[in-house]
Amino acid sequence: MMATVEVSVDVDVLKADMRIKNRIVFERNGKTFFICKDVLLTDEFIEKIKKIIAPVTSVYISFEDYKRLFVDIEESPYETPYKYVKFETSNMFEDIGAGSHTSSFVADNITGTVREHVKSIDLSLIIQSINGIRSADEYIVTHSTNVALLNGIMGKQLNYDDNKLYAVIKTGLLHDIGMLKVPQSIVNKPGRLKVSEFDIIKKHVVFSRDMLVEINEKDDRILDGVLQHHERENGTGYLHGLNSSEICEFAKITAIADAYDAMITKRIYRDFLSPFKILHNFSRGAYSELDIKYVRIFVECMRTELQGKYVLMSDGTIARICLVLQDDLMYPIVQIGNMVIHTSPELYCISMYNGEDSNDTN
């Protein structure tokens, strides 16, 4: 469990009469030292802090205090609808796991809801919710929700009609339901999988397709998209080693959404990547086994829609994205306080920040 997020602030920005509700700490030589908690600052106390921490010039305060005192970061207007979709998706997976015949109806309702969100809500708000620091609990629920939304965003970029948009969203929502039939001991194994264990993982695409057939899904675009979303352009994917011309459009789109969302999520066996690192890798061909046509559309959409949102920086500060450069996707230009800087290997974006001040990232 990660404690409340704390951010770095220069002592000079602290002013008399500011109420710091949570703790104030500072770091020296890699160690954290407690200063105080729940204090009304005075000029004298601020001077005392400066002497205590010297030669360090900054302290850490909670993000809750930081946003209350220094920035106006409100919860995304999409956060409540996003949580509703996740809640309904969780219910759907419980129904599927219990063998309920209502799961098809629930899936149709969620798909319709996501389609309306994608059509009517600012895409940047949806992307902000997808990219926020998240709980590792209920990975399958959050991942399925996000892939459905990302598929919908891609469908909108491709000017899909309502029917096709609905189908590509449903593909994303249900692409991994077969994981419910894979032993959790394998899904959550912290170490490297044995060949036999990975062979079981690979079967989830067949399980997913079969489970859709069981709930009377008849759209071949959805069935093939689910079955083929781990196939790759160069024939290195699974289950059948299909080449580009043999892979359906929905599978190609879902493969990108699936890969992106998996990489922004911390798992037992690896840490998460920042959206900018992933987009950089996409643009440089690090995932050349994905369809370049759809990768380019995805990268450009994300590059545009991430601008204006908040990020957590490597030094603990919160910054606002000013510009994501086409030729330098990993290091956007951001605003921290009154400073505008070009991020770099020394000071870089860790993740998007959605305004919440604590998360479980175990």
Model confidence at 355: pLDDT above 60: no
H/E segment holding residue 260: helix 249-263
How do beta strands 310-313 and 349-353 pair?
antiparallel
pLDDT at 357: 41
Domain ranges of the chain: 6-69, 79-305, 310-353
Work out the average pLDDT over 245-271. Answer: 88
**Interatomic CA distance for residues 275 and 128, integer angstroms:** 11
- Give the chain's largest Cα–Cα span: 72
* pLDDT tens digits, one per residue of 165-217: 999 999 999 999 999 999 988 987 878 889 999 999 999 999 999 999 988 89
79-305: which CATH number, 1.10.3210.10, 3.90.1170.50, 1.10.20.10, 3.40.50.2300?
Answer: 1.10.3210.10
Per-residue DSSP letters for 4-20? --EEEEEGGG--TT-EE
* pLDDT tens digits, one per residue of 22-79: 899 988 887 889 999 999 999 999 999 999 999 888 888 887 777 677 665 556 667 7
**Interatomic CA distance for residues 106 and 103, integer angstroms:** 5
Q: Who contacts 26 (Cβ-Cβ below 8 Å, separation ≥6)?
A: 32, 33, 35, 52, 53, 56, 58, 59, 60
Helix (H, G, I), strand (E, B) or coil at 189: coil
* pLDDT tens digits, one per residue of 104-128: 788 999 999 999 999 999 898 899 8
Q: Who contacts 5 (Cβ-Cβ below 8 Å, separation ≥6)?
A: 62, 63, 312, 316, 357, 358, 359
**Interatomic CA distance for residues 80 and 86, integer angstroms:** 10
Helix (H, G, I), strand (E, B) or coil at 268: coil
What are the residues facing 34 on neighbouring strands? 25
Q: Average pLDDT over the chain, rounded to whole? A: 87
**Interatomic CA distance for residues 59 and 41, integer angstroms:** 14
pLDDT at 268: 61
The pair phi, psi for residue 207, each rounded to 5°, is: -55, -45
Work out the average pLDDT over 311-328. Answer: 90
How do beta strands 6-10 and 318-325 pair?
unpaired
Model confidence at 269: pLDDT above 60: no
Q: Looking at per-residue confidence, does 273 or 222 come out higher?
A: 222
In the 3-class helix/strand/coil scheme, how is 286-305 assigned residue by residue?
CCCCCCHHHHHHHHHHHHHH
Torsion of CA 73, 143, 291, 169, to 10 degrees: -90
Q: Who contacts 152 (Cβ-Cβ below 8 Å, separation ≥6)?
A: 114, 115, 117, 118, 165, 168, 169, 172
Task: Say if pTM beats, i.e. exceeds, 0.75.
Answer: yes
* pLDDT tens digits, one per residue of 152-177: 999 999 999 999 999 999 999 999 99
What are the residues facing 341 on neighbouring strands? 334
Work out the average pLDDT over 341-349. Answer: 94
